[in-house]
Each structure stands twice: as C-alpha cells, then as structure tokens.
Structure 1
C-alpha cells in the first residue's frame, strides 16, 4: 500500500511541475514585421513626402491660346485611418512648361500649387480617393514685347489611386481639374484666367 501511495505522490508531483513549466511558455507572441509580411495590414496613417511628374492641358478665358506642357513638383501630406476609411490633407507645389502662342498673344503658366483635403477607401494596400481644395498659380501673358503676370487663387477637384509598394513606399496616379480665377490683363484688355486638366504619377515615402 505504501508503494502505491508513494507512486501516486510522485505522479502528482511530476504533473504539477509540467503544468508550471507549460504556464511559463510564451503564447501568442507576434513575429516582427518582415518584407514577407502580407500587405493586408498595410497602414496609410501618418505623414508622407514625395514627388510627381505629369502633363497639363487647358485654355485661357477670353483668349484663343490653349497652354499645355510638362509638370513636375513635390507634395507632402498627412493621413488619418479608421478601418478602411482614410482621410487626409495634402499640399503640393509644381513647376510647369505649359504655354501656347496664337497670333500676337502668348500665355503660359510657370507654376501653381494646391492645398487639398483627401477622402478615400483602402482595400489593403490599394487606396482609392477623391480630393478637392484651394488652387493658386501664376498666369503670364506676352504680346508685342510686353509682359504681364498675375497670381490668382481658385479651386481644384480630382480623383486618384495610390498603391502601397512596401510599408514605407507608395505610388499614385491622379487626375485634377484646376480653375485659376480671372484677372484683368491690360495687354489684352480682357479678363483672363487659366483652366486646365492635370494627369500625373508620383511616389511617396511614408514616415
């Protein structure tokens, strides 16, 4: 009988030791992020900075010129994300080669910028968004050796898609419609402003 009691006590002791050791094992630990981690946890939240290049084309109010040309610049912004919904603000400044000459008049748009809100829906590492806000830029007129420039404010609206390439890098395609309000140009004797479409591609680094 004593042997049975001693054997049972030994089994209980071994079982208790094994339970204590099992309780010390790390359960549910999360592996660190690696490049092989699936992009279905891609986060759009936070600040970003990037560059872009594209083409714009448009027309000058009360003038037959239709400036067009290459565009390039930089953008910066900040996103907030709640579930699949992404909201943010973005600003950009662009240098452009858009110009056109008709008869004695030449009009060009040397630069412009925008400050816009963005709202979109993320499908993992793909973000579809709409954007709208303030636009501003310079319209330059030339005729018979005379030059006149005006910096006008206006508005812009557009659509885009952004693609997460890695946790810190993304690429985007975007279309904007920009309306720079009219100003009174003495050299033309008319109210002239510039309205144009812009298609561009860009990359962003997310901090």
Structure 2
C-alpha cells in the first residue's frame, strides 16, 4: 500500500476574512471651482457695477492632474460569497493649479485676480462591500474623505479707487468631504493580493476674508466671500498583505 501524500494548503480554500495592510500608487485629476463675492451697493462698499466686475473676474474653474501614492489598512469579513469590510488610507498628491485673470471695472479701470490651489494630502475612511469569486473580489466603497486644501487668492483693486492695496486671502485647512467608488482585487496566494480601484472625492467649503475699503483707506473692512467646490478623481493600483 502506497503512503498517502500530504495535502498542501490550497488557494481554493482562500478566505478574504482578516486584517490587511498595503501600499498604493496611481494618477489623480481634479476640477477646482471657486466663486468670489464682492459686496456692492455703494458706501461703504464698491458701487454695484464695479463689485460685479471684480466678482466675475474672481469666479471660475481650473484643472490639475498628478500622481498620488500612499498606504492603506483594513479588515474584511467574508460571509458565503459576500465580503464586508472597512478600509482607511492616506496619500500624498502632486495636485497644484493656478490661474490669473485681468478685469476692468466700468467706473475705475483695470485690475487683476490670481488664485492658486493645492491638495498636498488626502485620506479616506470607507466601508467596503464586495462579492467573492474565489480569488477575485469585486467591491463597491464609499465614505468620508479628509483633504488638506491650500488656497491663496489676490485681488488687486483698480488703482483709481484704491489707496489701501490688494485683497489678500490665504488659508491651509483640513476639509471633510465624501468619496465613492469601486474596484477589483485578486489574491495570488493566501496572504498577498493586488487591486485596482477608482475613487471620486467631492469637497465644498467657503470662508470670508476682510480687505481694506477702497473708498475709506484703513477705516472700513470689506467682507469678500470666497467659496470653493472641488472634485477629485483617483485611479490607482495597490498591493495588500493579509495577516
């Protein structure tokens, strides 16, 4: 009687259940929209037609694309063919855009508006729901996005009506938004897997800055309102190790 050969663990018995951690890299592209509101109506603000010209010059959109890369960790639980989990990740990005517009106020002359926006890093915390075909899992995901947003705006008021210099607005804030997307993950052994995924990130935020009155020098402040609507797309690949 021949001895029975020992049976080695098989990938056919693979389960997605467990903790994992890994790294990712990919591309990202973003659409940055901003709106500048300049109060009008006359004293102590701009006359209405000049306020409209300045607001229009400071309202628009720009695009940026770059590289994104970082780390992720999470936990999966498999029930029959369904996989439920949660994942957190943090990544650095190279997103950086700027633009400059010239404008003419009907009553005063020419001026300029410039803006630059950066997204140095981005993090998400997302539930995941997947369906397992053995070594392959398709999943959908969505949840919280946390982004560092750096913005700088300069509005140079026409010299003819300003004795107090430009409106300068600069902020570097951590902004909360939302994200949704999906992907596919393939396990090539019982510990290692590779994945490809797409995420969409939506952000909307606003702030108010104060500038010196173009009519009354240092005595009056003008409440410019700056609002931002950012849309970020992420396409990346990653590798995970399950413990």
TM-score of the superposed pair, with normalisation by structure 1: 0.79
1:141 matches 2:151: yes
1:45 matches 2:37: no
Q: Which residue of 2 aligns with 1:61?
A: 33
Determine which structure has more spread, i.e. the larger CA radius of gyration. Answer: 1
- Aligned-pair distance for 1:99? 1.0
Displaced runs of 4 or more, over 4 A: none
What does the per-residue CA deviation read over 1:31-51, in whole Å, with 9 as the maximum and x for residues that have no partner? 242xxx3x3322111000000
TM-score of the superposed pair, with normalisation by structure 2: 0.67
Q: Which residue of 2 aligns with 1:165?
A: 188
- Aligned-pair distance for 1:146? 6.0
Unaligned ranges ≥5, structure 2? 35-59, 101-113, 155-167, 211-223
- Aligned-pair distance for 1:68? 2.1
- Aligned-pair distance for 1:141? 1.1
Q: Compute the RMSD of aligned alpha carbons.
A: 2.3
**Equivalent in 175, 200, 203 of residue 236 of structure 2:** 200
* Separation in structure 2 between the aligned mates of residue 123 and residue 117 of structure 1, nearest angstrom: 20
Of residues 100-109 and 125-134 in structure 1, the stretch that sits farther from structure 2 once superposed is 100-109
Q: Which residue of 2 aligns with 1:154?
A: 177
Conserved 8 A contact 1:65-1:105: no
* Separation in structure 2 between the aligned mates of residue 48 and residue 72 of structure 1, nearest angstrom: 18
Conserved 8 A contact 2:152-2:171: yes
Q: Work out the number of aligned pairs and report it.
A: 178
Conserved 8 A contact 2:206-2:225: no
* Separation in structure 2 between the aligned mates of residue 30 and residue 118 of structure 1, nearest angstrom: 37
Higher strand share: 2
* Separation in structure 2 between the aligned mates of residue 113 and residue 91 of structure 1, nearest angstrom: 7
Higher helix share: 1
SS at match of 1:119: strand
SS at match of 2:62: coil
1:131 matches 2:154: no
What does the per-residue CA deviation read over 1:93-145, in whole Å, with 9 as the maximum and x for residues that have no partner? 11111111111211110111000000010111000000011111111112458
* Separation in structure 2 between the aligned mates of residue 74 and residue 50 of structure 1, nearest angstrom: 6
Unaligned ranges ≥5, structure 1? 1-25
Highest RCO, 1 vs 2 (Cα 8 Å, sep ≥ 6): 2
